[in-house]
Structure 1
Amino acid sequence: MALARTRRRERGVDYWPGFVDALSTLLLAIMFLLSVFVLAQFLLSREITGKDEVLTRLNSQINELTQLLALERSNTQDAEDQLANLQASLQAAETERSRLEQLLSQGAGADAAAEEEIGTLSGALDEERQISQRALSQVELLNQQIAALRKQIGALEGALEVSEARDRESSTKIADLGRRLNVALAQRVQELNRYRSDFFGRLREILSDRENIRIVGDRFVFQSEVLFPSGSEVINDAGRTEMAKLAEAIIDLQKEIPPEINWVLRVDGHTDNVPLSGTGRYRDNWELSSARATSVVKYLISQGVPASRLVAAGFGEFQPLVEGDTLDARNKNRRIELKLTER
């Protein structure tokens, strides 16, 4: 029983006071630590504040030093620029000094050359004086010659007046001869026109029965079909008959025209505007027209007409009687023309 009571007493021990003591002790320790922390924080704040002030002062000093450094650099650049300018000025001064030295040396040489030139000019001046003296002598001689020439000119002027008078007389005579010559030429032309009219009149009488032969102005026109086959220069039989009549009329006319009239019968060949093929005997109408005119001239010569009174010419298709490309125009343009004219 007693043991049971003792055990119950042991189980009834109170721990709360010890716990309170421990908690109080812990609380005091925490408060102490907080006090220490606050104190340390205060001290640290003061230390940091002091360092910030020091850092601010250092930054200010750094800025001042930076400004001083920039100013120093600017001063250094200015000094370098001034130094470069001074060096350039020095170089220019040295160049100018070299130039002046060269000019000085050249001036010394120029003085010597000038003295030499002066000597040369002095010699030349003496020579010029001598030449002037000789020139004065020559001028005197020329004056004498001019006086003699004036006398000769006077004599020539007299002769010229006589010659001009003769020229006026000659001009009058030449004008008179010109008028006489014009009158004589006009008479010759009139005579030739009269003989041409007689000649054409005889031809008209001889050849009046042919429609393809007619007079156009001062020309007697034979259509080519009367004398030649197409594309040929050989005179056909009918053409020879007509040309024989023509030759007889020319021979009769020659007997009547005075020998001092230098006349010719011009035979002109003409074609139409149809070009030749170029593969035949003649390449173009120029050759064909010339060949036909030549054939007529040669036939007239064979009939007794003097060759000196005949002229052959070919005009191709370039002198048409009628403009156009019609069949009638081409027929009229293919022709042989006879014209009595002066040589």
Structure 2
Amino acid sequence: MALARNSRHKRTVDYWPGFVDALSTLLMAIMFLLTVFVVGQFILSREISGRDEVLNRLNSQINELTQALALEKSGKQDLEDSVANLQASLSMAEGERSRLQSLLDAGSGSNQAAQQRVGTLTQQLDEQKQASARALSQVDLLNQQIAALRSQIAAVEAALQASEEKDQTSQVKIADLGRRLNVALAQRVQELNRYRSDFFGRLREILSDRDNIRIVGDRFVFQSEVLFPSGSADLNPDGQTEMAKLAAALIDLSKEIPPEINWVLRVDGHTDNVPLSGTGRYPDNWALSSARAIAVVKFLIAHGVPADRLVAAGFGEFQPLAPGDAPEARAANRRIELKLTEK
């Protein structure tokens, strides 16, 4: 037992002294490093301070050099301006020298130029004298021509005066012929009016028994119902009978009217204002009125009336006798008018 306890006691190790030694060594190393760091920091600070001073000195030197360079540049500009002014002055001096030299040269040759000028002027004077002589000869020729023209003008004036006298005589004759023509025309008109009156008188005698036939002014008016069916341009039997009477009266009258009276019978067709449907034979009232007038003219020609004494015209509904839309007005406007007139 005692041996066992001794053996355990011998095996126990004391580590504390070693730990203390290690810690002391570590502290000494740290202190050494701190010392080295402080010394290095001090040395580095001194180096940096020295470099700042050097840098400041360099900056001041650079500023001084910059100022010196600016002064040099301004001096150079002044020198360049001076050189330019000197060059301009030199150019002006050279120009003045050239001008003086040219004046000198001109002065030396002025005598010769004056002689040449005198010769030129003398030649021009001779030419002017020759031109004056030619002009005088032309003036003489013109005077002769003017004299000839004056004689011609006198002859023309005499002829003109004779022509004016003849013209006055002609105007008197023309005025007399105009008066005679007016008298003749008036006589023709009177004769035509007389024959028109005779014609109307005969028509009154022939057609006096019809109520739908009347005289309006210088026209003989047939109502369309007397001659044509509604909407048609074909003469009905009654219309053919009346137109046959008219043809006979015209033929008799044409034998009595002198041939120098250029008369015609104008046949005018008129309708009312009722529009056509447009689907029948005649598209509108223009066509219907014209067709009716032409039908009357063709019937008269077929019964012996000369064609050159007949004229057909259609007026549609645009020349009414009675205005308005009443049945009586429309009936009065549907008509065929006959008028004896001149061509």
- Report what 1:177 is aligned to: 177
Which residue does 2:266 correspond to in 1?
A: 266
Separation of aligned partners in 1, 2:226 and 2:220: 13
Q: Work out the CA distance in 1 between the residues paired with 2:231 and 2:140.
A: 90
1:211-290 maps to which residues of 2 (within 5 A)? 211-290=211-290
> What is the CA–CA distance in structure 2 between the aligned matches of 1:236 and 1:302, rounded to whole Å?
16
Compared with structure 1, are the counterparts of its residues 214 and 136 closer, same or farther at alpha carbon in structure 2 (3 Å cutoff)? farther
Which residue pairs with 1:11 in the alignment?
Answer: none
Q: Describe the shift of the 1:140–1:245 C-alpha distance in structure 2 as closer, same or farther (beyond 3 A).
A: same
What pairs up with 1:1-343 in 2 under 5 angstroms? 133=134, 137-343=137-343
131 and 324 in structure 1: CA distance in 2 versus 1, 3 angstrom threshold? farther
Opposite residue 169 of structure 2, the aligned amino acid is E
Structure 1 pair 147–230 and aligned structure 2 pair: CA distance change class (3 A): same
2: CA distance between counterparts of 1:131 and 1:222? 96
Measured after TM superposition, the shift of residue 162 of structure 1 is: 1.2
User: C-alpha displacement at 1:261, in angstroms?
Assistant: 0.5
1:277, distance to aligned residue in structure 2 (A): 1.6
* Per-residue deviation, residues 92-134 of structure 1 (Å, max 9, x unmatched): xxxxxxxxxxxxxxxxxxxxxxxxxxx9xxx9xx89x96995x
Q: Matches of 1:338 and 1:192 in 2, distance apart? A: 15
Could you report, residue by residue, the CA deviation over 1:54-73 in whole angstroms, capped at 9, with x for unpaired residues? xxxxxxxxxxxxxxxxxxxx
1:137 is displaced (CA, Å) by: 4.8
Spell out, residue by residue over 1:281-322, the C-alpha distance to the aligned partner (whole angstroms, 9 max, x if none): 222111111111000000000000000100011111111111
Amino acid of the structure 2 residue aligned with 1:274: V
Cα offset, 1:141, TM superposition? 2.9
Deviation sequence 1:27-79 (CA, Å, 0-9, x none): xxxxxxxxxxxxxxxxxxxxxxxxxxxxxxxxxxxxxxxxxxxxxxxxxxxxx
Matched length:
264
Secondary structure, in 3 states, of the residue corresponding to 1:214?
Answer: strand
The answer for the alignment partner of 1:54 in structure 2 is: none
Which amino acid in 1 is paired with 2:172?
T
Structure 1 pair 283–132 and aligned structure 2 pair: CA distance change class (3 A): farther
Deviation of the 1:142 alpha carbon: 3.2
Inter-partner Cα distance in structure 1 for 2:144 and 2:342: 64
Q: C-alpha separation between the residues in 1 aligned to 2:147 and 2:332?
A: 82
1:147: Cα distance to partner?
1.6
Q: Which runs of 5+ in 1 are unaligned?
A: 1-118
Change (3 A) 1:253 1:137: same
Shift of 1:171: 0.7
Distance 1:314 1:138 in 2: 78
Structure 1 residue matching 2:339: 3-state secondary structure:
strand
In structure 2, the CA distance between the partners of 1:139 and 1:222, relative to structure 1 (3 Å rule), is: farther
Gaps in structure 2 of 5+ consecutive residues:
1-119
Q: How far has the Cα of 1:138 moved from its partner?
A: 4.4
Aligned to 1:48: none
Question: In 2, distance between residues paired with 1:136 and 1:236?
Answer: 100
Cα distance in 2 between the residues matched to 1:159 and 1:130:
41
Q: 1:144 to 1:293 in 2, by over 3 A?
A: same
Amino acid aligned to 1:188: R
Query: What is the alpha-carbon distance in structure 2 between the residues aligned to residue 136 and residue 339 of structure 1?
Result: 83
Between stretches 144-153 and 321-330, larger displacement belongs to 144-153
C-alpha distance 155-227 of structure 1, shift in aligned 2 (>3 A): same
Cα offset for 1:140? Answer: 4.0
> Deviation at 1:232?
0.9
Q: TM-score, with normalisation over the residues of structure 2?
A: 0.61
Q: 1:85 maps to what in 2?
A: none
Aligned to 1:14: none
TM, length-normalised to structure 1? 0.61
Q: Distance in 2 between matches of 1:340 and 1:260?
A: 15
